[in-house]
Amino acid sequence: MSHTTHSNAYPVSLDTVPAEQHRLSVVMPVAQAEQIDSPAAPASSSSVLKATEQSGIPLPKRETRSQRPTPPQRRYREQARRLVDTRALDRQAWLSIRQSGIGSSDAAAAVGLHPYKSQLELWMDKTGRQVDIKEPSRDEQLTSPLHWGQVLEPIVADHYAQHTGHRVQRVNAILQHVEHPWMLANLDREIVGNDEVQILECKTAGIYGAKLWKEGVPEYVQLQVMHQLAVTGQQAADVAVLLGGHELQIHRIERDEAMIDQLIALEAKFWEFVENDTPPSADGSDSADKALRALFPQDNGETVDFSHDVGLSQAFVDLQRVRQTLDEAKKEEARLKHRLQQAMGTATLATFPSGVLSWKQTKPVNRLDTKTLQKEHPALCAAYLHAHPGTRRLVVR
């Protein structure tokens, strides 16, 4: 984890300061106010190790710090290929190039460690079976974290440069690993002329997203940056994140050769799924559920016999057992709720040694009386009726 302290923060709201005078609070140790030299410990190491063990890939032997030779300082132009210039690249061409490899933002999903995107959904993306491919509307863009991340990226980069004194510049290219052509990377900024840190990754997080940064750089971001270091051959990156629109944190991530070896091995295994057009296993996440519904949207009326498949038969038995446990748990939950509600009566709150229970009246909600509308204005209703396709339901019998 990156070492931070909130005692050195000077929060200033961007809403009340002219654009040319924006100053963001930077959270870092006081002793490091002039120079950032505290690396973020790779919290994702244990997860990558676990993912590697589950995949059956042998772990590389890790050297101790005293045994590890000091790597030479390398610039990315010597390590990575400039695959394509992005300045004149339209969205469709950019999406097409993204399908040709694993980008840095794909790294965590490729190894099954992304909080929002599963391996299966990423596989569908890379094989041209995207779950959601429609362009967002203007109204949707106004509430899109991705959109605002792009809008605020130059502001984050500018304030990082002002605070650290580092010179940063755009790369304007998709980079490609020289030995693993399926490894791609986009850099937000390159840090110029600095032997200690060479890459800047800019992030933004709203009120809810900021929770992921309480313990330092989230695991999926650490994997994204380690992927960038692998592709470019660079030694370190700074992650500058704008939290809640007013607080800038800066974290250092150092190159970790052992983790990079593991990451490349796991990404290579995922890329085999793409090249062989074989879907990886679903992992139980909402992302995987969405991907399965997009992959198999309709049934064909046939019956498949899994009686002789020991693994699938056991999975069905386990599903029956879990469903039974859930049903029993829901009944017990309802019984306990009713006991407490009956004891509370008309009270709004109830306090206990372990917490507080709230039973409040919700605000009134206006609802459209569709039955009356259909009866009194059938023609008007018909003009606004749209058929929605049905969805497949999984029923255990």
Contact between 272 and 253 under an 8 Å Cβ cutoff? The reply is no
Which of 185-199, 203-217, 273-287 is predicted least confidently? Answer: 203-217
Share of residues in the chain with pLDDT > 70 (%): 76
Does residue 382 register a pLDDT over 80? yes
**Contact present, 28 and 36 (Cβ < 8 Å):** yes
Which of 41-55, 172-186, 212-226 shows the lowest per-residue confidence on average (mean pLDDT)?
41-55
Q: ∠ CA 233-102-124 to the nearest 5 degrees?
A: 170
Give me the sheet containing 236-243, strands edge to edge.
25-27, 247-254, 236-243, 199-205, 189-192, 167-169
Q: What are phi and psi of 338, to 5 degrees?
A: -65, -35
245 vs 318, residue with greater confidence: 318
Bridge-partner residues for 131, per DSSP?
none
- The CA-atom distances, in angstroms, between 294 and each of 79, 87, 116, 274, 287 are 38, 33, 17, 17, 11
Q: How far apart are CA 167 and CA 48, in angstroms?
A: 33
Say if residues 230 and 224 touch (Cβ distance below 8 Å).
no
Condensed to tens digits (0 to 9), the pLDDT of residues 258-274 reads 999 999 999 999 999 99
Where residue 192 falls among pLDDT bands split at 50, 70, 90? very high
Average pLDDT over every residue of 14-34: 33
pLDDT at residue 395, as a whole number: 86
Q: Residue 177: beta bridge partners?
A: 80
Q: Which token pair is 303?
A: 């019956």
With bands split at pLDDT 50, 70 and 90, how would you rate the model's confidence at 134? low
Lowest mean pLDDT of 37-41, 228-232, 298-302, name the range.
37-41
What is the separation of C-alpha 312 from the centre of its chain, rounded to a whole number of angstroms? 31
**Cβ atoms of 93 and 264 closer than 8 Å:** no
| 3-class secondary structure, 11 | coil
The mean pLDDT of 316-325, rounded to a whole number, is 95
pLDDT band at 78 (very low <50, low <70, confident <90, very high): low
**Band of residue 33 on the pLDDT scale cut at 50, 70, 90:** very low
In this predicted structure, what is the pLDDT of residue 336? 97
- CA 230, distance to chain mean position in Å, is 19
Residue of 228, 267, 249 lying closest to 163 (CA atoms): 249
Exposure of 124 in the CB half-sphere (CA atoms within 13 A): 21
Closest by CA to 226, choosing from 326, 94, 134, 108, is 108
- Classified by CATH at the fold level, domain 6-62+71-275 comes out as Lambda Exonuclease; Chain A (3.90.320)
pLDDT per residue as tens digits for the range 147-191:
777 778 989 999 999 999 999 999 999 999 999 999 999 999 999
H/E stretch holding 201: strand 199-205
Block residue for tokens 């990377």: 185
> Residue 370 and residue 364: Cα distance in Å, rounded?
18
Give the model's confidence band at 114: pLDDT under 50 very low, under 70 low, under 90 confident, else very high. very high
Residues 112, 48: Cα–Cα separation, whole Å: 9
* Choice between 148 and 12, residue whose per-residue pLDDT is larger: 148
Distance, in Å, from the CA atom of 143 to the CA atom of 243, rounded to the nearest integer, reads 16
Return the SS3 of 355: strand
The two three-digit tokens of residue 141, written as one number: 């863009």
Q: What percent of the chain has pLDDT over 90?
A: 54
Q: Check if the beta carbon of residue 142 is closer than 8 Å to that of residue 198.
A: no
pLDDT of residue 278: 95
Confidence category of residue 135, pLDDT binned at 50, 70, 90? low
Assess contact for 131 and 294: CB atoms under 8 A. yes
Mean pLDDT taken over the chain: 81
